[in-house]
Amino acid sequence: MLRRMFLLILPPLLLAAGVSFAYGASLRKGSARQDASAVSQAADANAAAVAGTASPDPRFTLEIRRLGVTVDRFRQRALLMRLDEAGTNGTLLLQDPKEYPWSSKDRRFAGNKRENNVFGYTLRGWVDYWPIPVIVAGPPRNGSNPDADRMASRISSADNGAGIGNALYIRLDEIHTAHGDDVISRVFAFFDREPNLPAAVLLVEDGINTRSYLGTPGADYLDLATKNGNFVPKTPDSYVALLVTRKDRVDRMIRPYVVDAPEAIDNTKTQYDVIKLWNYFWPLQKAYWKKGEEEMPSDYWHEKLPEFWKTTSLKMPDGFKPNPWVPIPWTTWQLKEYDKWPVLANLHRPVRVDLSNGRGEALKKGERIEKIRAGWQQALGTLAPGEQPGRMFYDTGASTSDLALLVQSLHDNPQHLDLDDPKDAFDMQRRIGGDTGTSSTWVQTALALMMGYGDGKTSALINLRDPLHGTIVMLTPPDAASRQAHPQTFSWDF
């Protein structure tokens, strides 16, 4: 209570969001299959649907079906176990420098392994042989440094050693940002503008190693990453991967049209369309690598698909409408792989709170408080009637004035969430004991998902790391019957 009284008299400041794109397609097939004009009409209809999209549904959600998370050495449920062990006054990060590797090589090796872990937790056993759209994000990159790496390179890096299997990746987006909630906005923008996009994978990373190879401005991260010595990291490895889907799109575009093909299959079985697509994909990917690039961007892949449809004899079922995201029907075993993974949480549309005066300056304190309160009400409107958040996660960065602003804005919230009570509210900066940076929103999401799957509580995720804007996102667990039917341990076994 003393802490709150202190914060109520302090001054304030806040955080962020994003953008996107769309496509169409044309194709042709042989004899007892869909004719070319039918396929062309389907592509035109898809393009028209995209162009004519109405204002976004505020209650539109994305289903989270798979999750991988690590902060430093703590992965999956071990995060919750460590937080319980540390208690509400302790931190997730161990505070004894001797608990951390002395060698920079060991730290780098550990970081690579953690990257493999989160990608593997998310994609092992997922739909093989289907080009998976990937959004990869990390902190800002030094664009003036020709040696600075890109987040796009982390897709193959994360896959190599993750034991994922026969995966195909197309890069949906690459984002370098200080604000992880930019990524949420971008994901929703893609799903809004691409009505045929059934699923996507997100990989978000931050930490000393990540910043060193991106050349992130603000500190000499390369020196920090390569020096030997024991120290507690201020920006720990914070990696999160999530698989998000829309079941309604799978049910509409894919489920009615699945085809039979043997599950034990390889690239010599060219009588099957799934292998024809695989064999068409790889030469294009390798040609792209030869240019010194990373995973193919989705628009490049989509540009190449009309040639595939035109020159390849495909056995498309009647009624199936190919599109760039689902270029051929799935097999029965691909659909089975999809159905194997239940919904773990629903990610709600983010609400952006603009705290600027339009000239790059923060609004006055009273105006910001009113904006945050209005944003809170708008975020509640993304929930189904009767749903209320029972827990809050927040990150105000290193600024005590931003924390004060949040307390002043929501101290009398109708949901009676007490920002001083660790049962109600989770302060990312204080409870982690370090800055998860660009990954903050996503670490919040992972923690809220695992906690909510256990106790059924809806979580509000609040980011006020930027003085000029903030973001509020709701995360709801599936109902009790679904959670009981699909128990989860969130094991870190790999």
Q: Compute the distance between CA of residue 40 and CA of residue 323 in angstroms, rounded to an integer.
A: 10
According to DSSP, the residues that pair with 239 across neighbouring strands are 70, 205
According to DSSP, the residues that pair with 136 across neighbouring strands are 174, 203
What confidence tens digit (pLDDT) does each residue in 388-440 have? 999 999 999 987 888 899 999 998 999 999 999 999 999 999 999 999 999 99
- pLDDT of 90: 96
- pLDDT of 117: 97
For residues 375 and 351, the answer to whether their CB atoms sit within 8 Å is: yes
Please give the backbone phi and psi of residue 132, each rounded to the nearest 5 degrees, phi first.
Answer: -85, 120
End-to-end CA separation in angstroms for the chain: 43
Structure token pair of residue 449 = 């998902």
Q: Burial, 487: exposed, middle or buried (Cβ in 10 Å; 0-12, 13-18, 19+)?
A: exposed
Number of domains in the chain: 1
Its sign, for the CA torsion 373, 375, 379, 382, is positive
Residues contacting residue 228 through CB under 8 Å, at least 6 positions apart? 102, 103, 104
Residue 42 is inside which H or E element, if any? helix 36-51
Residue 172 lies in a domain: no
Q: Burial, 389: exposed, middle or buried (Cβ in 10 Å; 0-12, 13-18, 19+)?
A: buried
Residues contacting residue 252 through CB under 8 Å, at least 6 positions apart? none
- pLDDT of 111: 96
For residues 447 and 31, the answer to whether their CB atoms sit within 8 Å is: no
Residue 392 structural domain: 2-17+351-485
Residue 274 lies in a domain: no
Residue 384 lies in a domain: yes
Give the alpha-carbon dihedral of 432, 434, 435, 440, to 10 degrees.
Answer: -20
∠278-284-287 over CA atoms, to 5°?
Answer: 140
For residues 278 and 247, the answer to whether their CB atoms sit within 8 Å is: no
**Residue position matching structure tokens 């390569």:** 226
Give the alpha-carbon dihedral of 334, 335, 341, 345, to 10 degrees.
Answer: 120
Instruction: Give the residue from 323, 343, 355, 347 showing the smallest Cα distance to 197.
Output: 323
Q: Compute the distance between CA of residue 135 and CA of residue 431 in angstroms, rounded to an integer.
A: 28
* Residue environment code for 296-318, b if the CB has 16+ CB neighbours within 10 A, otherwise e: bbbeebbebbbebbeebebbbee
> Residue 144 gets which letter from DSSP?
T
- pLDDT of 54: 60
Q: Compute the distance between CA of residue 126 and CA of residue 167 in angstroms, rounded to an integer.
A: 8
Q: pLDDT tens for the chain, 494 residues: list them.
A: 434 444 434 333 333 333 333 333 333 333 333 333 333 344 444 444 444 446 789 999 999 999 999 999 999 999 999 999 999 999 999 999 999 999 999 999 999 999 999 999 999 999 999 999 999 999 999 999 988 999 999 999 999 999 998 999 999 999 999 999 999 999 999 999 999 999 999 999 999 999 999 999 999 999 999 999 999 999 999 999 999 999 999 999 999 999 999 998 888 999 999 999 999 999 999 988 888 777 899 999 999 999 999 999 999 999 999 999 999 999 999 999 999 999 999 999 999 999 999 888 999 999 999 999 999 999 999 999 999 999 999 999 987 888 899 999 998 999 999 999 999 999 999 999 999 999 999 999 999 999 999 999 999 999 999 999 999 999 999 999 999 999 999 998 86
Q: Compute the distance between CA of residue 343 and CA of residue 163 in angstroms, rounded to an integer.
A: 23
Residue 328 lies in a domain: no
Residue 471 CA: distances (Å) to CA of 46, 73, 311, 322, 329: 31, 28, 47, 36, 38
Q: Compute the distance between CA of residue 138 and CA of residue 237 in angstroms, rounded to an integer.
A: 11
* Domain of residue 410, CATH code: 3.40.47
Residue 78 lies in a domain: no
According to DSSP, the residues that pair with 395 across neighbouring strands are 463
The pTM score is: 0.88
Structure token pair of residue 263 = 């599950």
Please give the backbone phi and psi of residue 469, each rounded to the nearest 5 degrees, phi first.
Answer: -165, 160
Residue 298 lies in a domain: no
Q: Compute the distance between CA of residue 39 and CA of residue 68 in angstroms, rounded to an integer.
A: 38
Q: Compute the distance between CA of residue 216 and CA of residue 87 in angstroms, rounded to an integer.
A: 33
For residues 472 and 350, the answer to whether their CB atoms sit within 8 Å is: yes
- pLDDT of 494: 67
Q: Compute the distance between CA of residue 476 and CA of residue 460 in angstroms, rounded to an integer.
A: 9
Q: Compute the distance between CA of residue 299 and CA of residue 172 in angstroms, rounded to an integer.
A: 8
Structure token pair of residue 415 = 């949901």
Helix (H, G, I), strand (E, B), or coil: what is residue 23? coil
Residue 386 CA: distances (Å) to CA of 142, 228, 296, 383, 445: 46, 54, 44, 8, 22
Q: Compute the distance between CA of residue 373 and CA of residue 13 in angstroms, rounded to an integer.
A: 14
- pLDDT of 100: 97
For residues 332 and 188, the answer to whether their CB atoms sit within 8 Å is: no
